[in-house]
Structure 1
Amino acid sequence: MARTNIWIPMLALVAATAYLQPAAAAPAARQRPAIERRGQDLLPSAQALRLSRAHKSAPAPGTTAAAVTVDDVGDVDSFDRNLKWLGVTNAFVTLDSACDPATTEHCQVIGPGQTNFNFADVAHITLPGKSAKSLMCYWFSPVINVTYSNPGPTPAVSLLRYNPTLTVDNPMLSDPALIDPNTGLPFGGHLTTSMTSSEFFQVPLPPATTISERTRDSAVCIAGFLNRRMMIDTYGFSEAQADEFFKKPMTIHLNVSGAVRGVALANFVFGLRIIGD
């Protein structure tokens, strides 16, 4: 009897079955960002919007932020620059009925009536050249402990006033052609700037009364005690000289002056930090 090959019909059946089956699904098309339908408008998803805005706002490689004007930001020289920490120091000033030079370096004896005081260089910070590019600011934190006293038989008003300033030494200020507009004379190696940190206290006291107070506050940077535009507009530097000024080493000295009346004791602690761009 001849052998029947059963594999041939089976292969044909398999082929026919494959032919009748539907073709495999095509690979899924790449999905577009999700959308949200509102009326007839198609709005991109929140994620798509964020990506689109980031792309539009990012500066092209190798470029800087778009140019700004004084009307836009006020200070175009320091715009978009990082803050730099440039040093910190503190100073101690005492007003008392007696001073011991061995324990109090900056001390003023309080006399009858009004007593004025004036201390130069109670603290300083020395910076290397190129510490800042166009702006230098102070953070100033005074702590004051004061005892007001009226030992007399009639009411009186006690007074405490102080005024800090900064003196800046810089080699550029030794140029005799550069004139200090405050004095009309050459700078002589340094200039002195005011600070928006002066304070004035008046305390009414009944007869035979003594009270003690502690005050604590801070003043921080706004325009800076020195900036490039100030060097040009206020101190008469050329643009090249203003740029060179910030490339030089400099020392910043803290000074304090003021007056007291009806004060038995006053202790000042001045914290000073310098920052720049």
Structure 2
Amino acid sequence: MNARLSILASALALACTSTFAAVPRATAVAGDIAGSADIRLPAATSPAAAITPKAGPSAADVGDADSFGRTLNWLGLADAWIELAADCSGSDADRCQVLAAAPAATTFAFDDVGHVTLPRNAANSLICYWFSPYLQVDYDNPTAASAVAQLSYVPTVTVENPVLDDPALIDPNTGLPFGGSLLTGMTSSERYEVPLAPGQHSFQRNRDSAVCIAGLVSKQSLVQNYGLSDAQARQFFKKPTTLRLNIHGSAQFVGDASLYFGLRIVGD
């Protein structure tokens, strides 16, 4: 715990520049990009709609009519500390990955590194995130040739909800029943590339944050992206929901790294 507090203190004391390069492809469909299907509502076609007073602006006016005018609710916080090292035997981190010797690359895959369990009715139509990574990386080229070190990570969230237990509901990403959960991506993936001369070390700190736009999960995404009925999507938000953070990635020419990820959940 002291080591984690030290990481957080360093993050608050340091303003750093990210060396962001290309973003790797996420392992799940991201539902938080503005303009995606989950915020495009169909136009009203019922004659009754023309004579019924509207409770608020339309989707054509504001993009997301379900959450318009609603109060933002703070719904929880999770974090994860991941180390990459040549030896994990003395690690205090939540998870640790042993690194292969250069020039070999190492992949890592950690599921459920942190979670938030929401009670029923925690949100009305939208669950959203703030995601804040703080990375301390020692890039190292022990070889006699020039090299390009790389570190990449892809965060995803597993969303568990009793509505997804219905065997008649099929996940369009897998072609199989949801089995109680769906996997959603986050537009927070990053890839860093650092040129290194023979024998060179380069220690870097990177601190940034990302916030969602259309949500980790929303009523409209459940209907339009995942095939739930409107009634099932409404029922989804009336049930308890667990969000589990997953971090997958790879490293090459990395001597060691300390990767801290903070996940704040908000809703309408």
Which residue of the partner structure matches residue 53 of structure 1? Answer: none
Does 2:80 match 1:91? yes
Aligned residue pair count: 214
Deviations 1:206-251 (A, max 9, x none): 1110010000000012111101100000010111000000000011
Instruction: Note the C-alpha offset of 1:105.
Output: 3.4
Cα deviation digits, residues 190-210 of structure 1 (max 9, x gap) = 111000100001100011100
User: Match for residue 262 of structure 2?
Assistant: 271
Amino acid at match of 1:195: M
- Name 1:111's counterpart in structure 2: 100
In structure 1, how many angstroms separate the alpha carbons of the residues matched to 2:259 and 2:142? 23
1:248 is aligned, of 230, 239, 242, to: 239
Q: Pick one of 116, 134, 139 that aligns with 1:143.
A: 134
Identity %: 52
Quote the Cα distance in structure 2 between the aligned partners of 1:253 and 1:129. Answer: 17
Written as runs of structure 1 = structure 2, the 5 A alignment for 1:176-215 is 176-215=167-206
Q: d(CA) in 2 for partners of 1:232 and 1:111?
A: 44
Post-superposition offset of 1:151: 1.2
**SS of residue in 1 equivalent to 2:79:** strand
Residues 227-238 of structure 1: matches in 2 within 5 Å?
A: 227-238=218-229
Work out whether 1:134 is the aligned partner of 2:104.
Answer: no
- 1:75 aligned partner: 64
Letter in 2 for 1:177: A
Answer with 1 or 2: which has the greater Rg: 1
Residues 65 and 212 of structure 1: is their aligned pair in 2 closer, same or farther, counting only changes over 3 Å? farther
In structure 2, do the counterparts of structure 1 residues 176 and 101 end up closer, same or farther at CA, with 3 Å as the change threshold?
A: farther
Relative contact order (alpha carbons < 8 A, sep ≥ 6): 1 or 2 greater?
2
Shift of 1:102: 6.7
| SS of 1:230 mapped into structure 2 | helix
- Secondary structure of 1:179's aligned partner: coil
Q: Tell whether the 8 Å contact from 2:83 to 2:91 is kept in structure 1 after alignment.
A: no
CA–CA distance in structure 1, aligned partners of residues 71 and 105 of structure 2:
46
TM-score by length of 2: 0.78
Q: Are positions 1:226 and 2:224 aligned together? A: no
- Structure 1: how far apart are the matches of 2:264 and 2:56? 31
- In 1, the alpha carbon distance for the partners of 2:118 and 2:173 equals 25
Q: 2:157 aligns with which of 148, 155, 166?
A: 166
Aligned residue for 1:232, secondary structure, equals helix
Give unpaired runs (5+ residues) of structure 2: 1-52
CA distance in 2, matches of 1:107, 1:116: 12
Aligned-residue offset at 1:177: 0.6
Indicate how the Cα distance of structure 1 residues 160 and 140 shifts in structure 2: closer, same or farther if over 3 A, else same: same
Check whether the contact 2:80–2:94 (CA below 8 A) recurs between aligned residues: no
Q: CA deviation at 1:157?
A: 0.3
